Amino acid sequence: MSALSSFGVESMPERIQSEVQRAIQRSIKGVEYVASSGPILGSTPKDILSVRGTMRLYHYRPLTEEVYRVPILIVMATTNRGYILDLIPGQSFIEFLLKRGYDVYMLDWTAPKPEEKSLRMEDYVLDFIPHCVRRVQEDSGENELSMIGYCFGGVLALLYGSIFADGPMKNLICFTTPIDFRELKLFANFADRRSFDVDRLIDSVGNMPPELIFSSFEMLRPASRVVGQVQLWDNIWNDEYVKSYRMFDRWATDILPLAGEYFRSITKDLMWDNKLFNGTMSVGGRPAPLSNIKVPILHAVAEHDHIVPYDASKHLIGMVESNDKEEVMLKGGHVSLIAGANATKRLWPKLDSWLCGRST
Amino acid sequence: MADTDPLALWQKMIGEMEKNFNALANQAMTQPEFSKFMNQASGLAAGSQKQLGDLIEKYLLVMNLPSRAQVIGMAERLVTIEGQLNSVIELLLQIKGSGAPQTSPSGPTRPLRTRRPPTSPSGERT
């Protein structure tokens, strides 16, 4: 190899030509980017089964002539919108499940109204989830169901499963679910009881403002938003990159407020007293130790999760009493694990192979 | 080639800078002083934002105009009503078509719940 070629000089004219073309494309696509609204998300056909304030229960229309007997109820995290699991055709977890023959329901959330600031943890665990479970039972005609919880949705599913240990939950799947809240180190420092006056904040604002939640997520990687914008401009000629960026950016900025009392309980019971990890958690006076859970359980965690690091989630499998339990660590981050382009090859098939035999 | 391509080097440099800056900032954010400062600032911001929001809300009320939150709330309720209307229409169509509803309101035709896991060539379930 010549000295010139080792510096890439032979291909430099082509490289320059390509960069000029990209620069032109950037200008054209840049205008398109500003003028267009991005892909439509969450478009898999569904019906609303129940609405109660901040709570929504959806049933997705089956895509196969025959489905597994046991329906799935997905419990979404209360800070985020459920469409992350139903981005666009071909990159939708929901569509994947439907095509594999599952009957899928989702418990999703909208922004709690100011008058819903008094919703407490027990409203979510002892009322909303049991209500949705009953609606799924009525609608599907099946007594049992599998529950999937994503992130804090996993915490809610665990609390439900530990209190209603006698059923009807048949299987439990948690994605990136925190157990040891001390290990959410930055969040724990943000919510340090010596400086964070949660009572004063909630008493003055009512519901926890989404801007504050968004800022705390952003601060986990403070440089990433700026770098993301630079990379977007760099790749704006690439339609696939732009589409993906817009989908994830829209979702990441579409944060929901949290009901005030519910947030107070998360801060005091989980962030400060770490009750889930210590086994002292109770909801509405009902003890909710993870050791009550005996159903088959799968916990999927992400290797590069910066929101729920492995140290915070690794205790789950050891703490439940199930005989049939498995933890799987897959490449990816907190969001790409469940919705990224590689989820179609990693998490989704793994989940299907684990769940199909347990859904009959 | 990638080692000498100035654009690839630029991208690599940006990636490294991001990683280093994030790590440095995260380290600083673990200090108790940062938590104190941040909570003072965010408490102040949330308080003033709430006051401003309340003020605008009162102004809109006086002007007999809906606030953004009310418009969003109405839009969400409209979507819900639309969904429920669709369910009612489907149910009515089923009643009209067959004399009695064969399925629940949430879907036109329900598949059988008899699906079995696929079997591998060796006969084992996958």
Indicate the domain borders of chain B. Answer: 10-65, 66-106
Contacts of B45 in chain A (CB under 8 A): 212
What are the pLDDT digits (tens) for A3-18? 444 445 557 777 777 7
CATH homologous superfamily of A46-358: Alpha/Beta hydrolase fold, catalytic domain (3.40.50.1820)
Pick from B22, B35, B84: CB nearest A195:
B35
Per DSSP, the three-state class of A301 is strand
Q: How far apart are the first and last CA of chain A?
A: 62
Q: How far apart are CA B94 and CA B96, in angstroms?
A: 5
Q: Is A85 in contact with A106 (CB distance < 8 Å)? A: yes
Q: Is A185 in contact with A269 (CB distance < 8 Å)? A: no
CB contact under 8 A, B126 and A234: no
At residue B115, φ and ψ (nearest 5 deg) are -65, 140
Return the biggest CA–CA distance within chain A: 77
The single-letter DSSP state of residue A79 is T
- Residue B66's pLDDT is what? 85
* Residue A217, min C-alpha distance to chain B (Å): 12
- Residue B33's pLDDT is what? 76
Of A273, A325, A264, the residue nearest A294 (C-alpha): A325
Contacts of B105 in chain A (CB under 8 A): 47
Contacts of B113 in chain A (CB under 8 A): 66-69, 103, 140-142
Q: Is A65 in contact with B112 (CB distance < 8 Å)? A: yes
Q: List B residues 60-89 in contact with A (Cβ-Cβ < 8 A).
A: 69, 72-73, 76, 80, 83-84, 86-87
CB contact under 8 A, B29 and A186: yes
Contacts of A145 in chain B (CB under 8 A): none
What counts of helices (H) and strands (E) characterise chain B? 3, 0
pLDDT reading at B55 higher than 90: no
CB contact under 8 A, A215 and B42: yes
* Residue B37, min C-alpha distance to chain A (Å): 8
At residue B43, φ and ψ (nearest 5 deg) are -65, -40
Is B7 within 8 Å of chain A by CB? yes
Best residue of B113, B120, B126 to probe chain A, by most A CBs closer than 10 Å:
B113
CB contact under 8 A, A189 and B116: no
What are the pLDDT digits (tens) for B10-46? 778 888 888 888 888 877 777 777 777 777 777 777 7
The single-letter DSSP state of residue A256 is P
Is B22 within 8 Å of chain A by CB? yes
pTM score: 0.79
CB contact under 8 A, B36 and A194: yes
CB contact under 8 A, A353 and B126: yes
- Residue A139's pLDDT is what? 92
- Residue A168's pLDDT is what? 94
pLDDT reading at B125 higher than 70: no
Best residue of A18, A55, A227 to probe chain B, by most B CBs closer than 10 Å:
A227
Q: Is B115 in contact with A66 (CB distance < 8 Å)? A: yes
Best residue of B36, B106, B109 to probe chain A, by most A CBs closer than 10 Å:
B106
CB contact under 8 A, B115 and A11: no
Q: How far apart are CA A239 and CA A2, in angstroms?
A: 36
CB contact under 8 A, A223 and B21: yes
* Residue A165, min C-alpha distance to chain B (Å): 25
Of A338, A348, A344, the residue nearest A82 (C-alpha): A338
Contacts of B4 in chain A (CB under 8 A): 6-8
- Residue A227's pLDDT is what? 79
Q: How confident is the model at residue B123 (pLDDT cuts 50, 70, 90)?
A: very low
Tell me the pLDDT of chain A (360 aa) as tens digits: 444 444 455 577 777 777 777 777 777 766 666 666 677 788 898 988 888 889 999 999 999 999 999 999 999 999 988 888 998 888 899 999 999 999 999 999 999 988 888 899 999 999 999 999 999 999 999 999 999 999 999 999 999 999 999 989 999 999 999 999 998 877 777 788 888 888 888 888 888 888 888 877 777 777 777 778 887 877 777 777 887 788 778 777 888 999 999 999 999 999 999 999 999 999 999 999 999 999 999 999 999 888 899 999 999 999 999 999 999 999 988 888 888 888 888 999 999 999 999 999
- Using CA atoms, how far residue A21 sits from A5, A233, B7, in Å, is 23, 14, 15
What are the pLDDT digits (tens) for B72-111? 778 777 877 877 787 787 778 777 766 544 444 445 578 9
Quick one: closest CA in A to B45, which residue?
A: A212
Place of tokens 């009322």: A127
Question: How crowded is residue A219: how many other Cβ atoms within 10 Å of its Cβ?
Answer: 17
Tokens of A304: 């590069």
Q: How confident is the model at residue B3 (pLDDT cuts 50, 70, 90)?
A: low
* Residue B14, min C-alpha distance to chain A (Å): 7
